[in-house]
Structure 1
Amino acid sequence: MPFLSGRRSGRPRLAPELDDTELGRLVKVLRTPSRPGMIGMTDLHVARASALLAAAGGDWDRRSHRLSVLAAAIPDAGLASAWAAREPRNADALLLHAWVRLERGLRTGSLPDSASLLKSCYQAAELRPEDPEPWVVLLGVARVERHDRQTALRAWREALARDRWNRQAHLQLLGCLSPEAGGSRHQVIEFIDAVRIRMPGDAPSAAVELTACVGQYLDTVSRGGVEALMARDHWSQPLVRSVLDRALAAWPSPGFLRHAAALADLNLLAYALVCAERPADAATVFRALDGTATPWPWQCDGDPLTEFERRQDRCLRPR
C-alpha cells in the first residue's frame, strides 16, 4: 500500500483502484476511447479483465474490490454484456455484468431489468458456490429495489457464510437499512451495535460504523436551513467522537489495515476529521494517504480532487 512505502508521490490523484497497480492499468485502458480503425478491442479488454479477476483467486476481498472498481470504470454495459454473452457459464463474466448494472442502479435509483440481473447472480452462485460476490450483488439489488428486510438478510447471511468480514456486504446491508432505502435510523443503529462487538478492528469491514456516521452527517447537511448549520455538532457527540478516536488511533499505522480498500477507508476518516474540525488529526491521515484520493466522500462537497487537495493543503500547512 502507498502509505507503507514512505515515499512522496507529488500532487494528489484520484485513484479508485487504490494500491492495485494492475487494476489501475486496466481501468486506464477502459476509460481511454478507442481510436478509429482499431479492431478487437473488446476481445482484448475481456481477456485482460478475465486474467485480472482470475489472478485474485480465493482472495475474496481483492476480488470484490476489483469487480466493484471495474464495474464503476466501464463507461457502458457493452463490454460486460459481450463477455457474458460469449461465456454464459463463466462466473466472472456473469458477475461483472451484474455489477455493472447494479452500479448504474445505485446511481439512478432503479434497475430496469432486475430479473435478468438476479438470474445472473444465481447462475454465478451455482457455478462458484464458495464465492460471496453473487450474494453481495443481490444485497445491492435489495437495496435499490427496497426489498423487505428478510430478503436482504438472507443474502447477507449467504455472503458472510463465505467471507465473514466482507466489506461490500457490510456496506450494502448498511445501505439497505438506511432511511434512504426504506429502512430507519433505528435499524442502522441496531446493525452497527450488532457487528461492532464481534468485528476485529482491522477487518475489511471496519469502516462500516464510520460510514454510518458520515452518512448521518451528510443527511443532516442535505436538509439545509438550521439543521445544516448545526450539523457540526454531530461530531461532538460522545459516540461519534469515540468512533473517530478509535479509527485515528489505529488505521494510519503502517501495516494495520491490510484489506484491498484500506486507502478508501482512510479517505473516509480524513474527510470525517476535516468535518469534525480536527485538522491536526486529519493531517496524520493525509500523510498516510500520500496523495491517493477517492471520489467518495470528497465529491459530496464539489469536485473530489479539488476538495481533497484543498483540505489536505489546509491541514498540512505549518502552523
Structure 2
Amino acid sequence: MAFLSSRRRRARVVLEFDDAALGRLLKSLQATASTGTIGTMDLFMAQVSRLLDQSRVDWDRRTHQLSVLAYHLSESHGPRAWAAREPRNTSALVLSAWAQLERGRSRGSLEDAAGIVDSCRRAAELAPEDPTPWVVLLGLSRLERRGQPEVFSLWNEVLTRDRWNREAHLSMLRYLGREEMGSRIQVLDFVEAVRARTPANAPCAATELTAQVLQYQSVLTRGGVEALLARHHWSHASAAQALDRAAHIWARPGFFHHAAALADLNLLAYALVAAERRGEARPVFEAINGMVAAWPWSVGGDPVSEFEKARIRSGAGV
C-alpha cells in the first residue's frame, strides 16, 4: 500500500482508495457519461477492459476494481450492454452481473437473479481460475438468504481460487451473523477459524476486527442505556485483543499491500476512537490522510463528518 505525504488532506469518501488507475477511470467514466456522444459505448468498453486486463493476474486487485466499478455503474446500462456485445468476455460478464447485484441491494430486490447466475456461470467456464464469478454468486446467495450448504459451497469455490479473498470473507461474516442467516456462535467460530489460518497482513486480515465493530454497532443501534454503555464493549477480552493485534502493526508503512488496505485502516481508526484509545488512533488517521471509507463511519451519520470529528478527537493533524 502506498502511504501519502504527512500533509493533512481534506477528508472525502474515496471508492478507489489508493488505486490511482481506478480513480482516473472513475473520473473518465463520469466525464464520458455526461457527453452522450455516439462513441460512448466503445469508449466505455475500451477504458474498463484496459484496466481489468492489467489486474487479471492479481485477484485481490481485480476483485476490488470490479466491486468498485459495479457499485459506481449499478444504475448504468453500460455493463449489461458490454456483456451483450462481448458474451465471451469474462470481465464484461462479471461486471454486468455484479452491477445488477449492487442495484438489487440498493433497491431491496433483484430484477433478474437467473440472469446474474447465468452470467457468472459462463464467466466461470471461460476463466476457471478466476474467483470473481464465485464472489458474485456468493453475494447473490447472501442477498437471497439461501441455505448454508449452498452458501458454503460457493465460499469454498472462492477459496479454492483465492484463499484470502477479502470480499468473500466479509460477505460470509455478515451472512453468518444473526441479522442474516446465522448466530453469534457461528460468527465466533468463523472468526476464530479465519484468525488461526490467516497471515497478519492478508487481504482478509480485518475479518476479526470487522466482527467486533459490527457487534459494537449493533449495541449502539439499540439506543437507550445500552448505547450509552457501548464503549465498554472494547474492554471485553476478545474485543481488546483483536484491537491490540491490529493497532500494533496495521499502520506501519509497507505492512499492508492489498487493494482495500485503506478501508481496513479506516476500520482500525474508528475502533480505536470508539475504545477511547485516541493516542493510538492518531498515526492511523495520519496514514489514512483523509481518504474515507463510507463504512463504518456512516453508521453515525455522514461518513465524512463522522470521520472528521473522530480525527479531531484523536488530535491527528492539529
Which position in structure 1 is the counterpart of 2:162?
163
Cα–Cα, structure 1 residues 74 and 9, in superposed 2: closer, same or farther, change >3 Å? farther
Which position in structure 2 is the counterpart of 1:51?
50
Please report the TM-score for the alignment, with normalisation by the length of structure 1. Answer: 0.95
Which position in structure 2 is the counterpart of 1:205?
204
Which position in structure 1 is the counterpart of 2:280?
281
Counterpart CA distance in 2 for 1:136 and 1:75 is 17
Give the counterpart letter for 1:140 in structure 2.
G
Which position in structure 1 is the counterpart of 2:195?
196
Shift of 1:37: 5.6
Counterpart CA distance in 2 for 1:91 and 1:185 is 37
Counterpart CA distance in 2 for 1:147 and 1:237 is 33
What aligned pairs does 1:15-94 form with structure 2 within 5 A after superposition? 15-32=14-31, 34-35=33-34, 38-74=37-73, 76-94=75-93
Cα–Cα, structure 1 residues 9 and 74, in superposed 2: closer, same or farther, change >3 Å? farther
Given that 1:144 and 1:181 are in contact with CA atoms closer than 8 Å, whether structure 2 keeps it comes out as no
Given that 2:198 and 2:205 are in contact with CA atoms closer than 8 Å, whether structure 1 keeps it comes out as yes
What's the secondary structure of 2:15's corresponding residue?
coil
Cα–Cα, structure 1 residues 35 and 149, in superposed 2: closer, same or farther, change >3 Å? closer
What's the secondary structure of 2:257's corresponding residue?
coil
Given that 1:132 and 1:158 are in contact with CA atoms closer than 8 Å, whether structure 2 keeps it comes out as yes
Which position in structure 1 is the counterpart of 2:137?
138
Given that 2:45 and 2:82 are in contact with CA atoms closer than 8 Å, whether structure 1 keeps it comes out as yes
Counterpart CA distance in 1 for 2:256 and 2:264 is 9
Q: Which runs of 5+ in 2 are unaligned?
A: none
Shift of 1:286: 0.3
Given that 2:61 and 2:259 are in contact with CA atoms closer than 8 Å, whether structure 1 keeps it comes out as yes
Counterpart CA distance in 2 for 1:318 and 1:136 is 38
Q: Which runs of 5+ in 1 are unaligned?
A: none
Give the counterpart letter for 2:205 in structure 1.
A
Shift of 1:2: 4.0
Given that 1:30 and 1:74 are in contact with CA atoms closer than 8 Å, whether structure 2 keeps it comes out as no
Please report the TM-score for the alignment, with normalisation by the length of structure 2. Answer: 0.95
Counterpart CA distance in 2 for 1:121 and 1:149 is 20
Structure 1 runs of 4+ off > 6 angstroms? Answer: none
| Identity, % of aligned positions | 53
Counterpart CA distance in 2 for 1:236 and 1:81 is 48
What's the secondary structure of 1:255's corresponding residue?
coil
Which position in structure 1 is the counterpart of 2:97?
98
Given that 2:286 and 2:317 are in contact with CA atoms closer than 8 Å, whether structure 1 keeps it comes out as no
Counterpart CA distance in 2 for 1:92 and 1:317 is 41
Cα–Cα, structure 1 residues 111 and 81, in superposed 2: closer, same or farther, change >3 Å? same
What's the secondary structure of 1:151's corresponding residue?
helix
Given that 2:282 and 2:316 are in contact with CA atoms closer than 8 Å, whether structure 1 keeps it comes out as no
Shift of 1:303: 1.3
List per-residue Cα deviations over 1:196-224 (Å, max 9, x = no partner): 11111000000011111111111111122
What's the secondary structure of 1:112's corresponding residue?
coil
Given that 2:11 and 2:291 are in contact with CA atoms closer than 8 Å, whether structure 1 keeps it comes out as yes
Given that 2:2 and 2:254 are in contact with CA atoms closer than 8 Å, whether structure 1 keeps it comes out as no
Counterpart CA distance in 2 for 1:51 and 1:187 is 41
Out of 9-18 and 44-53, give the one that drifted further: 9-18
Counterpart CA distance in 2 for 1:44 and 1:303 is 34
1:124 aligns with 2:123: yes
How many correspondences in the alignment?
A: 318
Shift of 1:33: 7.3
Give the counterpart letter for 1:60 in structure 2.
W
Shift of 1:108: 3.6
List per-residue Cα deviations over 1:237-283 (Å, max 9, x = no partner): 11101101100101000111111111110011111111111111111
Out of 245-254 and 42-51, give the one that drifted further: 42-51
1:152 aligns with 2:151: yes
1:245 aligns with 2:244: yes
Counterpart CA distance in 2 for 1:266 and 1:144 is 27
Counterpart CA distance in 2 for 1:213 and 1:108 is 28
Cα–Cα, structure 1 residues 121 and 184, in superposed 2: closer, same or farther, change >3 Å? same
Out of 275-284 and 308-317, give the one that drifted further: 308-317
List per-residue Cα deviations over 1:77-98 (Å, max 9, x = no partner): 4111111111111110010011
What's the secondary structure of 1:197's corresponding residue?
helix
Given that 1:77 and 1:97 are in contact with CA atoms closer than 8 Å, whether structure 2 keeps it comes out as no
